[in-house]
Amino acid sequence: MLFNTLDFALFLVLVVGLYHLLAHRAQNVLLLLASYWFYGAWDWRFAGLLFLSTTIDYWIGRGLGALSDARRRRWLLGASVAVNLGILGSFKYFDFFVGSAAALLARLGVHAPDLALHVVLPVGVSFYTFQELSYTIDVYRGQLQPARRFVDFALFVSFFPQLVAGPIERATALLPQIQAPRRVTWQGLRSGAWLILWGTFKKVFVADNLGNLVDAVYARDAHPTGPEAWLAVYAFAFQIYGDFSGYSDVARGSARLLGFELMHNFEWPYFATSLRDLWRRWHISLTTWLRDYLYIPLGGNRVGTLKHYRNMLVTMLLCGLWHGAAWTFVVWGLLHAAALMTQHALTPWTTRVLPRAWPWKLAGGLLAFHLWCLFFVPFRAADMGQALDLWRTLFSDGNAGMARAWLVPLLVYVAPLLLVEAVQRWRGDDELVLRLPVLLRASVYALVFAALVLLAEDHARPFIYFQF
């Protein structure tokens, strides 16, 4: 079930309506059933997988809470890591590694049998396995008491607003909200409804419309000119932002209608002043997860320079692989690692030499944004061959082609997003609209709604991050 369908709107209205009639524990049962219905709408078989991994981690969590022997606790944590990474590995990475090994052997003249599983990737598996891992690790570290009621834990894993594409919630933040009675406030309902409307706008108006342009350039048989390719590269940066941050907004908004508060996943990333700053503002729930459960345990920046760079490299490489089991994502991660290491190496010099005035910040922001866009080429490309072709085209073919026809739509779809975000960033308030005078507020709602009615795509496109 996609957030950008009337199906979901009806589902949400029904769930929210019933929810407000029930007491706390019954609310949790309702949300659990609704979440499994929501997830099962894709494929019921994968709901079984979700249930299985939930059950295993629930009992591991209980075991970790009950045991005091350090060695046995380590074994239990190891079992949780093995189960979660095993699920992820089997469904997401097995075919990639087996295929890559077979290709390597073939180059050496050895014919390997086809061992690939050819299984469909369950929707949201990368998100919920990471969420479950954070739970068992936090319980192991003593930062969290294990969930006592199975229903509560199962709801933490499967909570439908963020089940299939995040934010990847920490148990320390979400579980207490599940375990204690929630208070749905008028302000929560208002802001929730606005987040749903704005998130839908970002997805349907910005991302899906730009998707047409991007698809035309990244099509297998497309031969774009340089300006066309540049427009598509810019368009994809905004498409993926609109798509993913739109999803996160609808998730947060839907949760608020139920009295939950989910974490911010984006903080105006395209107003960042450097690549590192951009990463601090992008997919925050994943980057902080990687920071807390990978980068810092590896030593973070409190080690020697070489080890610090190794930690950055490993973290970004795994960040790339998390997005997809393909060499294009590996390259994407490595490019970011290289750029972040370079920025880190140059920082002492730049802080000494360059003034801290706004033109330099602007230049830094523009440089970061362009690197970000260029690094997205392999991320979006079907394979490295296409990515290399497109990179070459960007700097070689100057023929305008369709670029003139596409420039205006690109601006039309991107400008409202940038305008609203610029004001939000300036005032440091992402719900500024709710504080506008009523007439102005109604006009903003009406404009957003009219844009959806008049300029939305005919068909609901799936969210890009569903494939991860």
Partner 1 sequence: MPAPSSTSSSEPRRARLPLGGLLALGLVLAADRLVFAEAGLWARIVARLELVPKALVRVELGIARDRVDLARLGQAAPGVARVVLFGNSRANDGFQFREVPPQFELARLTHAPLSPLEFRLCAREVAAAQPALVVALFSEYDTHRPPRIVPRAGFADLRATGGLVLDAVAARGGWEPAFAFEKRVELERLGLAVLFNAYRYRDVLERAWLNDALGFRADDAGRLPTLVSHELDEAPARAPEFQALRARFRRTLGDRYPDATLRQVQDIGVGPHVAANEGLIEAAVAHLRARGCEVLIVEGPLHPLSYELYDHATTRAQFVEFARRLEREHGAHFLALEDSGPYDEGDFSDPLHLVARRGRELGARVLREAAAILDLPAPPRER
Site residues for partner 1 per CB under 8 A:
5-7, 10, 173, 185-188, 190-191, 193, 209, 211-213, 215-216, 219, 256, 261, 263-264, 401-402, 404-406, 408-409, 412, 438-439, 441-446, 449-450, 453-455, 457-460
Alpha carbon distance 433, 420 (integer Å): 9
Tokens linked to 161: 């607003």
- State the minimum distance, in angstroms, from the CB of residue 255 to partner 1: 11
Whose tokens are 């590694």? That residue is 97
Specify the residue, 41 or 56, whose C-beta has the smaller distance to partner 1: 41
- Of the candidates 177, 175, 126, the one whose C-alpha atom is nearest the C-alpha of residue 325 is 126
N-to-C CA span, the chain: 16
Calculate the alpha carbon distances from 75 to 71, 137, 231, 429, 467 in Å. 6, 12, 52, 45, 32
Q: How far is the CB of 248 from partner 1 (least distance, A)?
A: 13
Secondary structure (H, E, C), 15-80: HHHHHCCCCHHHHHHHHHHHHHHHHHCCCHHHHHHHHHHHHHHHHHHHHHHHCCCHHHHHHHHHHH
When the beta carbons of 81 and 452 are compared against partner 1, the nearer one is 452
Give the nearer residue to partner 1 in terms of CB position, either 357 or 453.
Answer: 453
Length of the chain in terms of residues written: 468
Sort 448 into a burial class: Cβ within 10 Å, 0-12 / 13-18 / 19+.
buried
Residue 428 region, left (φ>0) first, then alpha (ψ -120 to 50), else beta? left
Q: Distance (Å, rounded) from C-alpha 402 to C-alpha 253?
A: 38
CB of 143 to partner 1, least distance (A): 15
Query: What is the rounded distance in angstroms from the CA atom of residue 77 to the CA atom of residue 56?
Result: 11
User: Smaller CB distance to partner 1: residue 28 or 191?
Assistant: 191
Beta carbon of residue 449, minimum distance to partner 1 (angstroms, whole number): 6
**Contact in structure between 200 and 457 (CB atoms under 8 Å):** no
Find out whether 333 and 312 touch, Cβ atoms under 8 Å: no
CB of 189 to partner 1, least distance (A): 8
Complex with partner 1: residue 106 or 405, whichever CB lies closer: 405
Query: Helices (H) and strands (E) in the chain — how many of each?
Result: 19, 0
Give me the least distance between CB of 311 and partner 1, in Å please. Answer: 26
Smallest distance from the beta carbon of 326 to partner 1, in angstroms?
A: 23
CB-wise, 253 or 364, nearer to partner 1?
253
B/e letters for 54-78, b = 16+ CB within 10 Å, e = fewer, are: bebbbbbbbbbbeeeeeeebeebbe
Other Cβ atoms within 10 Å of 435 Cβ, number: 9
Sequence-distant (6+) residues with CB within 8 A of 223 are none
Which structure tokens are listed for 426? 């300036």
Q: Which residue in the list 323, 344, 370, 459 is annotated as catalytic?
A: 323
CB of 248 closer than 8 Å to CB of 266: yes
Identity of the residue, 64 or 174, whose beta carbon is nearer to partner 1 in the bound complex: 174
Return the number of the residue (363 or 411) whose C-beta is nearest partner 1.
Answer: 411
Is 323 a residue of the active site? yes
Instruction: Provide the minimum distance between the beta carbon of 467 and partner 1 in the complex, in angstroms, as a whole number.
Output: 19
Nearest distance from residue 418's CB to partner 1, in Å? 16
3-state secondary structure at position 223: coil
C-beta of 16 vs 81, nearer to partner 1: 16
Of 28, 320, 387, 308, give the one whose Cα is nearest residue 175.
28
- Known catalytic residues are 323
